Amino acid sequence: MRTAELNAQHNKLIWFIALPILSADLYSSVSYGPESGMTELMKLGPDAKWYIIPITISTVVLLFILIVSYIMGVLAYPNGGGAYAIAKDNFKPRWVSLVASSSLLVDYILTVAVSVSAALEAVSSAYPAVAPYETVLAIFCVFVLLVVNLRGVAESAKIFAWPTIGFMGCMLLLIFTGFFDEFQHGFVQHSTPSFGTVPQGLSVLLILKAFSSACSALTGIETISNAVPIFREPQQKNAIKTYIALGVITSVTLLGFAYHLYVKGIAPNPHNTMLSQLTESYFGHGILYQIIIWFTFVVLILAANSTFTGFSQLAAIVAADGFLPRGLTMRGDRLGYSNGIIALAATASILIIAFQAHTNALIPLYAIGVFLSFSIAQFGLIRRWKRVKGPNWRVKLAINTVGAFVTSIVAVIFAFTKFTSGAWVVLIVIPILIIFSLAINRHYRAVADELRIDLSTFRPKANKVITVVLVSGTHRVVHNTLSFAKGVSEDLIAVYVGFDDQSIHRMEEKWEEWGNPCRLVVLKSKYRSILEPLTRFIHLLEEKQPKSNIQVIIPQFIPKKWWHNLLHNQTALLLRMWLLRNKDVVITTVPYHLRK
Amino acid sequence: MRTAELNAQHNKLIWFIALPILSADLYSSVSYGPESGMTELMKLGPDAKWYIIPITISTVVLLFILIVSYIMGVLAYPNGGGAYAIAKDNFKPRWVSLVASSSLLVDYILTVAVSVSAALEAVSSAYPAVAPYETVLAIFCVFVLLVVNLRGVAESAKIFAWPTIGFMGCMLLLIFTGFFDEFQHGFVQHSTPSFGTVPQGLSVLLILKAFSSACSALTGIETISNAVPIFREPQQKNAIKTYIALGVITSVTLLGFAYHLYVKGIAPNPHNTMLSQLTESYFGHGILYQIIIWFTFVVLILAANSTFTGFSQLAAIVAADGFLPRGLTMRGDRLGYSNGIIALAATASILIIAFQAHTNALIPLYAIGVFLSFSIAQFGLIRRWKRVKGPNWRVKLAINTVGAFVTSIVAVIFAFTKFTSGAWVVLIVIPILIIFSLAINRHYRAVADELRIDLSTFRPKANKVITVVLVSGTHRVVHNTLSFAKGVSEDLIAVYVGFDDQSIHRMEEKWEEWGNPCRLVVLKSKYRSILEPLTRFIHLLEEKQPKSNIQVIIPQFIPKKWWHNLLHNQTALLLRMWLLRNKDVVITTVPYHLRK
């Protein structure tokens, strides 16, 4: 794709097409969010089942606060303001924005691991035979996502709207069927747990833990605010519309889903997801069950897919600022940031293997990063309203103050309640990432300082160059190399390294017979090494003419078939690597393309 | 070590020191040979136990024939004649010698796998807790052997004599103790199976299978004939003395060991080797038992170690003849053929992992190769005696005729009886190796033909060279590169690739400000690729001046710390690889060593 095509208006999206495309990440997590929360409480026995209602209500309240806060973000940064951009704009010390970027990057990796694992758990609920292969299949899915993303997919590809629309339809159908079922069989059924009983062993800590796990359903909310530029005009208005619509549909789904789970008294089961259990209770194992399971699978994979774009773009932005390796800013032929995509796939795969693709084992690590970056974004917006003001700035300030307060409390709850079950890993990795980022930036600044020159005084002048050609005999490759070398230098030294007197003598004779193409120096290597006598010789030249450039010309075979590389000594390659690293010499490789 | 030191006389060995050094491979296999044979018969029940006597006697007869035949080899090839050298000298078609070399190489790999596995089985007989870690520990042993051999060990290191002497002492002590025990408790004990009963289900095939497995005790017999040059003068006489002594001591050990196993009625047990069982029955688990087990371990590891020398030397000889990759002829600093050593360790490790370090699972693949090469050597010697004649040539001819007859029958028995249990792998691998060897040779000959030139007419003349310097801006690295480039070429083109008009315009301005160091060509890349516009430009130059060399000069950062490499785009490296492979351009890399 050409650079110019990137911003063409006809590629922009109407809001109700953008809605499903940008919501895969958030909406798909309804399939595992409530279950993650309830898993924490299940050790208390069936008396704890009814807690799904208050916990889901709290989650929806938090969702409402987040969406309103994020709408403020859209108003403030119409060109797309991720937490990193907001922090960069409003906080002077760079580490603040690095907290936002590092925690988001870590959470993106977790999103891929969690979504793909949850996708496979959906499938293995329907087909228990798949269960032992979950890890392998999860890695395979990540690999497919890697290939697809390297080949390049525009985030705005409209085809991605359909699976999410389909999954939304499935969830609404499920909720509708639930109410229909309850109209027929009663809103309190024999399986409905009694509401309000306090189970033995319940503690505030446990409730908070369940709540924080359930909040994994809220990750992905930042996607729309990052993507404002892909909307049709009026962009901000459309983005806000989308936020509101997404908030409504997600709330309805979460509440309806939780309510029916409560009525049916469904508890988490490691071999059968709660979504699968509820669907079974209405439809059995028929075609509707299959459709819902496979839409769940596809939408979760899609959520992982959208993370690839999010991760690699954020990494590229941070890298362009000089806080991550610059290689992350390189785009492949099809616009994807290849290195970021590869890094994400690799790290997510490691997580999947380490946690054997168990969603509930990954959840304690998840969402802290997102809420950390949410908090920083809110605090950034607070500073912005105070500084920039603008229409209704006091209202916006109030909203973001509430947002900042709530998100930071939630982040602290997360870190505290899940610390021992895995959150500590994230709380160690994020600071390490920040320290690395700062070190990288120091290095780049030091290099930039070193490279800066005064253009008016420091101008290139021709250096004296001593040219050394390595020769291994008197054959076509040497002829080819010498013909080039004579073209660039009149003062040429051919160097031959021999292991015994006999071969040295023969070489001298042949050189004579060849009409002495240039001066020949023979070096005797008693220890059968080429490197050792050669470096000694280079050292000699350096001492004699300390101000010159030394150029070493090395011939290299380029065979026709790749496996022929095994058949030709890779001396040239090793020599080149060693000399470049350890000596200040220019290395010229003259290829000889073998015909056979 | 210097080349000259290689052949110094004071490094040569007296025969009774050479005996233990050269016999580790053959003598160590007495510890698993009889057991491998009996494992085949054990499905017939305890009635088959007495077959250990006739099978061991047949093995010893075969050993006698082999030793006499190999002495003929020593007489014919005093400079060390392996099966490959003998075949090369006596058969015109090269594939015959390649059969010998390929089957020996395959068998060397198996020797390492079998010896190391047997060594760990010895240890886990004494310490059953070790059993689950056999594979891991076996790989670790191979790794240690790899490191030791890369660091370099002379085959003739006298220190290697002691463990074998110790193990021989252990075996003789065991046999002596056995007779002492039998004098006390009778030569037929209550545990002694009745001699001569034919167990149900016995077949000729099964006996032949047991015999061929037991013959794994005879591998390693070729070592002395390969090593004639390391003996003190008179070399041939000393080598023959060693052969006879080794034959006597091995026969005594095999027969005595088998006899006591028979008396004690010991049967194979996958968790306790027969050697360990016999030792237990005499000494319990005391200090003598420990000594015998650990000597067995060390001598088996030593057998694997000596194979490293054998394999890498043979591979180097075949490679020097142009039938294996030439890299195998390169010696490391300490004389070892590093690539051969690495190849052996890698393939043996794969075998150990595939067969989970079970000696008896590896045995069916083993020894066919050795007997194939034995047969070829014998047939080669037959041809030699007919051609060269010499003193007593008729006797020698007769001996080798018997040898050729017996070894080829044994090879056929091996292939036939063990075909389905694994020998087919070897019988497929060997021909594949031969086909590869022939293809490699064809390639080398074709290249040699292509490179040959007439020295009196085809002489190097200076080519016209067009020099292109890639510039990414106007900084110190570009200054450094241009200063070199100006030294080698007056007609210089600097090429800048820009992604948008703005950066191109800025570059042109700065170039102006820098005083136009040389002609500047700016290329616009709409697709953010450097390679694509650059190759188009090179193509243009090629068309304009078809007879010139094109030299592309690329600056390259050399950072101070290795991990800094990650921070600098590896564009230079990728560009270089692509251009060398696909275009006929000379690539010059100008390093810039970063100070920070």
- Separation CA A226–CA A77 (nearest Å): 9
Region B406-426 average pLDDT:
87
pLDDT exceeds cutoff 60 at A5: no
Higher pLDDT, B304 or B226: B304
Instruction: Note whether B591 contacts A569, CB cutoff 8 Å.
Output: no
- For B483, other C-beta atoms within 10 Å of its C-beta total 18
pLDDT at B294: 92
Q: Closest Cα to residue B300, out of B117, B444, B460, B476?
A: B117
pLDDT exceeds cutoff 70 at A467: yes
- Separation CA A257–CA B291 (nearest Å): 72
- Separation CA A307–CA B395 (nearest Å): 82
pLDDT at B3: 46
Region B144-171 average pLDDT:
81
Q: Is the peptide bond before A128 cis (omega within 30 degrees of 0)?
A: no
pLDDT tens digit sequence for A403-427? 899 899 988 888 888 888 888 888 8
What is the pLDDT confidence band of residue A195, given thresholds at 50, 70 and 90? confident
Instruction: Note whether B514 contacts A455, CB cutoff 8 Å.
Output: yes
Region A202-215 average pLDDT:
87
Q: Are B594 and A447 in contact (CB under 8 A)?
A: yes
Region A214-229 average pLDDT:
84
CA distance A317 to chain B (A): 15
Instruction: Note whether A460 contacts B453, CB cutoff 8 Å.
Output: no
Instruction: Note whether B591 contacts A585, CB cutoff 8 Å.
Output: yes
Higher pLDDT, B340 or B530: B340
Region B81-91 average pLDDT:
86
pLDDT exceeds cutoff 70 at B429: yes
Instruction: Note whether A2 contacts B477, CB cutoff 8 Å.
Output: no
Of B325, B483, B569, the CB nearest to A326: B569
Q: Closest Cα to residue B84, out of B316, B302, B338, B244?
A: B316
pLDDT tens digit sequence for B109-130? 999 999 999 999 989 988 888 8
> Across-strand partners of A117?
none
- DSSP run (H or E) holding B495: strand B492-498
Region A6-25 average pLDDT:
74
Q: In what order do the strands lie in the sheet with A585-593?
A: A519-524, A492-498, A465-470, A549-558, A585-593, B585-593, B549-558, B465-470, B492-498, B519-524
> Across-strand partners of A496?
A522
Of B461, B476, B564, the CB nearest to A483: B461
Instruction: Note whether B2 contacts A551, CB cutoff 8 Å.
Output: no
What is the pLDDT confidence band of residue A458, given thresholds at 50, 70 and 90? confident
Of A452, A526, A580, the CB nearest to B591: A580
pLDDT tens digit sequence for A296-349? 999 999 889 888 888 888 898 899 899 999 888 877 655 568 889 999 999 999
Share of chain A above pLDDT 70, in %: 95
The structure's pTM equals 0.72
- Separation CA A370–CA A225 (nearest Å): 14
Q: Are A219 and A30 in contact (CB under 8 A)?
A: no
pLDDT tens digit sequence for B465-490? 889 999 988 888 899 899 999 888 87
Going from the C-alpha of B548 to that of each of A475, A487, B458, the distances in angstroms are 21, 9, 18
Which of A113-127, B51-65, B68-82, B97-111 is predicted least confidently?
A: B68-82
pLDDT at B246: 93
Instruction: Note whether A462 contacts B477, CB cutoff 8 Å.
Output: no
Instruction: Note whether B515 contacts A459, CB cutoff 8 Å.
Output: yes
Instruction: Note whether B590 contacts A586, CB cutoff 8 Å.
Output: yes
Q: Closest Cα to residue A438, out of A35, A132, A99, A120?
A: A99
CA distance B143 to chain A (A): 23
Higher pLDDT, A162 or A528: A162
Which residues in chain B touch residue A456, judged by CB atoms under 8 angstroms apart? 513, 515
Share of chain B above pLDDT 70, in %: 95
Instruction: Count how many Cα atoms sit within 13 Å of the Cα of residue B339 in the half-sphere of its side chain.
Output: 16
Instruction: Note whether B463 contacts A483, CB cutoff 8 Å.
Output: yes
pLDDT at B155: 53
pLDDT tens digit sequence for A236-273? 888 899 999 999 999 999 999 999 999 888 888 888 89
What is the pLDDT confidence band of residue B170, given thresholds at 50, 70 and 90? very high
Q: Find all residues with CB under 8 Å of A108, minimum gap 6, and list them.
A: A307, A310, A311, A314, A344
3-state secondary structure of B518: coil
A-chain residue closest to B333, CA distance = A527
What is the pLDDT confidence band of residue B596, given thresholds at 50, 70 and 90? low
Instruction: Note whether A566 contacts B460, CB cutoff 8 Å.
Output: no
Specify which of A537-546, B375-384, B521-530 reaches the highest per-range mean pLDDT.
Answer: B375-384
SS (H, E, C) A172-230: HHHHHHHHHHHHHHCCCCCCCCCCCCCCCCCCHHHHHHHHHHHHHHHCCCCHHHHCHHH
pLDDT tens digit sequence for A359-406? 888 888 887 888 898 899 999 999 999 998 888 889 899 999 998 998
pLDDT tens digit sequence for B562-578? 777 777 767 777 788 88
Going from the C-alpha of B416 to that of each of B62, B105, B206, B413, the distances in angstroms are 18, 21, 11, 5
Q: Closest Cα to residue B139, out of B356, B336, B362?
A: B356
Which residues in chain B touch residue A514, judged by CB atoms under 8 angstroms apart? 455, 459
- Separation CA B455–CA A173 (nearest Å): 87
Which residues in chain B touch residue A556, judged by CB atoms under 8 angstroms apart? 580
- Separation CA B358–CA B361 (nearest Å): 5
Instruction: Note whether B447 contacts A551, CB cutoff 8 Å.
Output: no
Q: Are B548 and B466 in contact (CB under 8 A)?
A: yes
pLDDT tens digit sequence for B317-336? 899 899 998 888 877 655 56
CB pairs under 8 A between A and B: 200
- DSSP run (H or E) holding A32: none
A-chain residue closest to B555, CA distance = A586
Which residues in chain A touch residue B482, judged by CB atoms under 8 angstroms apart? 460
Question: Distance of alpha carbon A446 from its chain centroid, rounded?
Answer: 27
B-chain residue closest to A571, CA distance = B327
Which residues in chain A touch residue B574, judged by CB atoms under 8 angstroms apart? none
pLDDT exceeds cutoff 60 at A9: no
Which residues in chain A touch residue B576, judged by CB atoms under 8 angstroms apart? 589
What is the pLDDT confidence band of residue A2, given thresholds at 50, 70 and 90? very low
- Separation CA A320–CA A440 (nearest Å): 12
Reported ipTM: the value is 0.75
Q: Which of A441, A589, A592, A593 to mutate to test the interface with B (most CBs of B within 10 A)?
A: A589
pLDDT at A4: 47
pLDDT exceeds cutoff 60 at B10: no
pLDDT exceeds cutoff 70 at B37: yes
pLDDT at A153: 59
Instruction: Note whether A325 contacts B566, CB cutoff 8 Å.
Output: yes
Which residues in chain B touch residue A3, judged by CB atoms under 8 angstroms apart? 499-500, 526, 528
Of B459, B461, B594, the CB nearest to A514: B459
Sign of CA dihedral A138, A140, A146, A148: negative
Of A450, A488, A590, the CB nearest to B594: A450
- Separation CA A279–CA B154 (nearest Å): 73
Of A452, A510, A595, the CB nearest to B475: A452
pLDDT at B501: 86
Which residues in chain A touch residue B450, judged by CB atoms under 8 angstroms apart? 476, 594-596
pLDDT exceeds cutoff 70 at A154: no
Torsion of CA A580, A581, A584, A590, to 10 degrees: 0
Which structural domains are found in chain A, ordered by start? 12-444 (1.20.1740.10), 465-593 (3.40.50.620)
Torsion of CA B580, B584, B588, B594, to 10 degrees: -30
- Separation CA B521–CA A475 (nearest Å): 37
pLDDT at B157: 66
Q: Which of A3, A440, A441, A443 to mutate to test the interface with B (most CBs of B within 10 A)?
A: A443
- Separation CA A68–CA B521 (nearest Å): 53
pLDDT at B334: 56
